[in-house]
Amino acid sequence: MIDTIDIIHRDHMNMERVLSVMNRVAEGLGRADGVERSLGLLASIVYYIRLYPERCHHPKEERYLFKVLARRDEGADDLIRELKSQHAEGKRQIARLDLAVKAYDRTREDLTTLRRVVDDYAVFQRRHMDLEESELLPLARKGLADDDWSEVDQAFARDADPLFNENMEAGFRVLFERITCDEAGGARPF
């Protein structure tokens, strides 16, 4: 049986892994070696975030989980409105991050701005995930009935994470290797 809460929680843990690598890669930029590879990793991260969290994870939350929760609990309206607003802001922030990576790639100037945009995005996403973990998921767990979960679970069972599954997309292999290397304590400077 699919458990939407487990999927959302796992997605959040995986996103934290991506954000941690993103922060370390941005911090390591500016060294003479590995700039191209670092920029490639940042571009892969931006692509991944647009592909999965922005186009899959968040829309499923809005179309299914938020909809059912709003029907069951009128008190959830403010939280749902805030989370939808954060989803919209996340799209704007990932667009800024994409532009900052591309600008640095073209000019190799203004590393401070790129690092700030990376940090801003990571802080924002961590706060967003914390809000979902601390308020949304407990509210859903408490307020939804078994039949409510049926449609939600079916939606969340579709569209596996392209980075963290056994059928990983080929373009994510280097990013995945970096994540696992960092977690093993072997962080590389690129």
SS (H, E, C) the chain: CCCHHHHHHHHHHHHHHHHHHHHHHHHHECECCCHHHHHHHHHHHHHHHHHHHHHHHHHHHHHHHHHHHHHHCHHHHHHHHHHHHHHHHHHHHHHHHHHHHHHHHHHCCCHHHHHHHHHHHHHHHHHHHHHHHHHHHHHHHHHCCHHHHHHHHHHHHCCCCCCCCCCCCHHHHHHHHHHHHHHCCCCCCC
Residue 18 lies in a domain: yes
* Residue 123, pLDDT above cutoff 70: yes
For position 87, which CATH number holds? 1.20.120.520
**How high is the pLDDT of residue 32?**
60
Domain that holds residue 21: 4-183
In the predicted model, what is the mean pLDDT of residues 52-76? 96
Residue scoring higher pLDDT (168 or 96): 96
> For residue 60, is it within any domain?
yes
Number of domains in the chain: 1
Q: Residue 90: pLDDT above 50?
A: yes
In a domain, 151, yes or no: yes
Residues listed for the chain: 190
- Residue 171: what pLDDT? 75
Specify if 189 maps to a domain.
Answer: no
Does residue 189 carry a pLDDT above 50? no
Above pLDDT 70, what percent of the chain?
Answer: 95
Structure confidence by residue, pLDDT tens digits, 17-46: 999 999 999 998 877 667 888 899 999 999
190 within domain boundaries: no
